[in-house]
């Protein structure tokens, strides 16, 4: 479900099915962690699930769970991480031309700090109105 929700394609291989002996051998030879259970904390052979990206070992279920918890799943699965959108404070020349016309018309420029302060004041006013309204019965 986690891989589905993140739109990561995958293939499930059931090593208990007939004809999957080669996949079972591959898993046992290429897994670096053996996993563990309550009844067998140190198994002789790696226990499923083991995760691979093609032939490259990624980890076992515990590693997968940890990577998901710390929001590092793409790195764990050895996938190319999505590139974050570039945030830039620079304005392109086209936008400067558009904004320049507005500025010449006497438009006010508001800095990010001023906008944040105004938004904070609005939030406080809304809270005060809510509290005042709650007290009036």
At 53 the pLDDT is 95
Asked whether residue 29 is assigned to any structural domain, the reply reads yes
At 111 the pLDDT is 45
**Residue that is written with structure tokens 């051998």 in the block:** 25
Asked whether residue 49 is assigned to any structural domain, the reply reads yes
3-state DSSP assignment of residue 54? coil
- Over residues 49-102, the pLDDT tens digits come to 999 999 999 999 999 999 999 999 999 999 975 566 555 555 555 555 555 544
Per-chain mean pLDDT for the chain: 75
Residues contacting 67, CB < 8 A, separation 6+ = 59, 73, 75, 76, 77
Domain containing 6 equals 2-76
Task: Using alpha carbons, select from 74, 50, 71 the residue that is nearest to residue 62.
Answer: 50
Residue 18's domain is classified under what CATH number? 3.40.30.10
Q: How many domains, the chain? A: 1
């Amino acid at each position: 479900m986690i891989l589905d929700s993140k739109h990561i394609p995958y293939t499930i291989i059931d090593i208990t099915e007939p004809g999957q002996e080669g996949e079972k051998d591959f898993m046992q030879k290429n897994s670096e962690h053996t996993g563990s259970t309550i009844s067998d904390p140190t198994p002789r052979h790696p226990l499923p699930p083991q995760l691979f990206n093609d032939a490259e070992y990624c980890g076992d279920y515990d590693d997968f769970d940890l990577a998901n918890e710390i929001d590092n799943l793409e790195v764990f699965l050895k996938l190319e991480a999505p590139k974050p959108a570039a945030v830039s404070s620079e304005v392109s020349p086209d936008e400067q031309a558009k904004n320049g016309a507005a500025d010449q018309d006497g438009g006010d420029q508001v800095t990010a700090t001023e906008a944040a302060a105004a938004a904070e004041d609005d939030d406080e006013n809304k809270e005060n109105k809510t509290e005042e309204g709650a007290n009036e019965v």
